[in-house]
Structures are given as structure tokens and as C-alpha cells.
Amino acid sequence: MLNHGSCVVEGISSAIAGILIMLLVMFFQIKRWKNRGLIRPDRKPQLLGTSRNHQIEIFIRDYGPIAPNRYRYSEIKKMTNSFVEKLGQGGYGSVYKGQLPDGQLVAVKLLDKGMGDGEDFINEIGSIGKTSHVNVVTLLGFCFDGNKRALIYEFMPNGSLDKFLRRDESHLDWNTLFRIAKGIARGLEYLHEHCNTRIVHFDIKPHNILLDEDFIPKISDFGLAKLCKRKESIVSVTGARGTAGYMAPEVFLKRLGGASHKSDVYSFGMMVLEMTGACKENIASTTDMSGIYFPDTIYKKLEGGENVEVDGVTTEEEEELAKKMVMVSLWCIQSDPSDRPSISKVVEMLEGSFQSLHVPTKRFWSSPTRYSQGTSASTTLDSSHERLLTQATREDLST
């Protein structure tokens, strides 16, 4: 009996010890989650609120220790001095200048209500949050606090590229423009070829290219990005994604083969054409697409060995850089995605000699007759493809 009692006592002691160990493990795990902001002691379970909030909380939890820092809204207000210095306004919210406790300057994007409740918010954290490249902006943290959403990036003192392409702003010299184009191409190459999961941006345009103090370009704004396996050639998207003028035709005309990483190549080509001044109007702001999607004049001049007219060229070196940028752009904007080079090939073309390049076979949209008042789109275009493209651009992509 004595031995039996001893065994019972030992068994109970072992069970209690096991329970205590489990409780200690749970205690330290919960403490770890609190320190990372995944559990908030000052908030009740209603933090999950809606099913969408619950999904985002699960995503953040599953993201694990590689997630960027999480901040309370009160901390966001403090780092921006109550949002006193506004840097700009975008489609998803306003951007403010801020400062972290260690003195580092940051740009805080405060998302509009409703804009941070879905795919765009998750995309931003899930894609850019785990990238590391000199030509991709760094996401330093985020705020998901009740109905408040914010994203914290490294601060770019020279703002976005688009302000340097406006006629009323000071223009960059050709060497700087060329370095910027190469940097963007390298950033895209990293996203397409060197991440564990391929990241297709789907909104490459001057407004989404930020410039640091040395005018090194950084790709930003991953709200429309899609992640896919590198072996996958087609990306599943619902509806058009991107900005009219920079958006590849296959993104909204499925008959062309479907969206892919080659869609970013197209957007890059349109943006570089705008950088050279070969597109005389700002692509994002104009409502007449006939001179933008259809670079007939540029193509004919290059094919005939003539110089493309660009502003600010003063030396033979600058002329060669300008012509190289235009030539590479024409390859990038081929209407058939399979005719476009990969972004790795684009980098190779930009880094190689101009003499090694040749004018591509003309396989991009031909210029339609400009609309006259009272004339419908269907009677002024030469082909059904052009008609579909222009109608989609004017009607469906204006929103």
C-alpha cells in the first residue's frame, strides 16, 4: 500500500509539473505576441470586428517574425506630430512626413477608410514587407489598429519621379534619367526573378517611383501587386489592374494571352518613353490616348535612321543614351507579350552598347485617326484591336 501511494503521489506530481511547464510556455508565448503587437492588452476581442479584420489579423499572425514592426495609431500620430507635414496625396490615402524614436525620417501613408480593409493592404505587407533591394522602397512598419490603417516607409527626400517629368518643373539631365531607368529595371528584375515568389507590380508609373537624396530610384506602392510562382507565365487577375496609359493591353484584353510579368515590362516601356519626352504629354493626365499608345512617329524615325526629337540633348553621349532608352522602350511595348523581352533582357539591353540594338518589328498598336467631334470610336479606327483598345482606355479605364 505504501508503495502504491508513493506511485500515486509521484504521478500527480509529474502531472502538475507538466501542467506548470505548459502554462509557462503559454505565458512566454503570449508575452512574445504582445511585444510584437499581435495581442493588445488595452483592447478587447472586438479588434477582430469584422470577418475582413479577422482575416487580416490571421495573415499578420501567420506572417511570423519576418513581419515589419507593428505600431499603434497613437504612435503614428506621435511620429508624424499629428500629421502636420503632408508630403502628397495618392489614390489610397495621404502621405505624411514622420520620424521614428531613433531619429530616422519616414513617410507614413495613412490609408483612407475602406482602402485598408482588403487585398491592397495585405498585398503591401505580404510583398514589399519581405523584399530587400536598393531599388525597392523599404517598408519599415504598419498600423492595423481598430479602423486605422497606415504603412511606414523609408523617407525619400526627392519625392516621386513624376514631378521631374512635368514641364513646369526642373528637368533631370540625361545621365541621371538613364541611371534612373536602369535602376527601375534592376528593381523589377529583382521582383520578377530573385524573390522566392515572383512579385508582379501591375502599377509601374512615375508616381510610384521614389527618389532618394542621390536620385536612386525605388519602386513603391504594391497595393495592386500579385504574387505567383516564377514558373507560372500567367497571373490570375479579376478586372483591369493599373493606370490608364501605362497598363499593358493584355491586362484588359484577355484575348492577348492574359496578364503576366511581361505586363510590368510594358508599363516600364511606356514610362521610359515618357521620361525621354518622346511622349509629349503626361500619360496619366491626358484624355487623348492616340498619341500615347501608338508611337508611330517615333518608330518611323528610328526605322529611317532619323534622330528622335528629345529635349536637353547637348552631347553625342546624351544622344546615344536617349536613343537607347527609346529603342528599349519600343521593344517593351510590343502588343504581344511574347514579343517583349524579359526584364532581365531589358537590363542587359540598357547596359549594352546602342550599336548592338536594332529597331523591333512593328508589333504595337497603330495610331488611330484622332476623334473629331460627333464621330464615334467605331468609325474612326482602322482595326478591331484598335477599336477595343481605345474604347477600353476611354471608357473602362478612366476610373
Domains identified in the chain, total number: 2
- pLDDT score for 275: 93
323 is in an annotated binding site: no
Q: Does the residue 358 lie in any domain?
A: yes
CATH code, domain with 89: 3.30.200.20
| 168 and 267, same domain (yes or no) | yes
- pLDDT score for 180: 98
What is the number of other CB atoms lying within 10 angstroms of the CB of residue 55? 14
- pLDDT score for 170: 64
Distance CA 287, CA 203 (A): 19
Q: What is the pTM of this model?
A: 0.75
- Which position has the grid cell 515618357? 274
- pLDDT score for 66: 60
| 121 and 202, same domain (yes or no) | no
Q: Which of 121, 154, 187 is the last residue of a domain?
A: 154
| 199 and 113, same domain (yes or no) | no
CATH code, domain with 217: 1.10.510.10
- At 31, give phi and psi (nearest 5°): -60, -40
Assess contact for 397 and 244: CB atoms under 8 A: yes
Max CA separation in the chain (angstroms): 108
User: Which domain does 287 fall in, by range?
Assistant: 161-396
Q: Write 231-236 long-range contacts (CB < 8 A, 24+).
A: 232/198, 233/260, 234/258, 234/259, 234/260, 235/200, 235/259, 235/260, 235/261, 235/263
| 273 and 367, same domain (yes or no) | yes
Quote the Cα angle for 185-133-78, to 5°: 120
Torsion sign across C-alpha atoms 241, 245, 247, 252: positive
- pLDDT score for 30: 55
Q: Which of 154, 184, 214 is the last residue of a domain?
A: 154
First vs last Cα of the chain: how many Å apart? 85
Q: Find the helix or strand (DSSP H, E) in which 242 lies.
A: none
| 298 and 362, same domain (yes or no) | yes
Q: Does the residue 37 lie in any domain?
A: no
Low-confidence ranges of the chain (pLDDT < 70): 1-56, 59-60, 62-67, 91, 114-119, 167-170, 230-233, 238-239, 278-295, 307-308, 362-399
Q: Does the residue 296 lie in any domain?
A: yes
Q: Does the residue 271 lie in any domain?
A: yes
Q: Does the residue 20 lie in any domain?
A: no
| 272 and 357, same domain (yes or no) | yes
Active site residues: 203
Beta strands in 123-176 (DSSP E): 139-145, 148-154
Distance CA 330, CA 209 (A): 21
- Which position has the grid cell 547596359? 351
Q: Does the residue 135 lie in any domain?
A: yes
> Which amino acid is located at 52 in the chain?
R
| 304 and 257, same domain (yes or no) | yes
Q: Does the residue 200 lie in any domain?
A: yes
- pLDDT score for 112: 82
| 147 and 181, same domain (yes or no) | no
Distance CA 4, CA 126 (A): 58
Distance CA 279, CA 95 (A): 29
Q: What is the pLDDT of residues 238-269, one digit of tens each?
A: 667 788 889 998 888 877 778 899 999 999 99
Q: Which of 154, 183, 206 is the last residue of a domain?
A: 154
| 135 and 165, same domain (yes or no) | no
| 248 and 387, same domain (yes or no) | yes
| 188 and 336, same domain (yes or no) | yes
- pLDDT score for 113: 74
| 324 and 242, same domain (yes or no) | yes
Distance CA 269, CA 249 (A): 13
- pLDDT score for 291: 44
Q: Does the residue 34 lie in any domain?
A: no
Here the cell at position 191 is 521582383
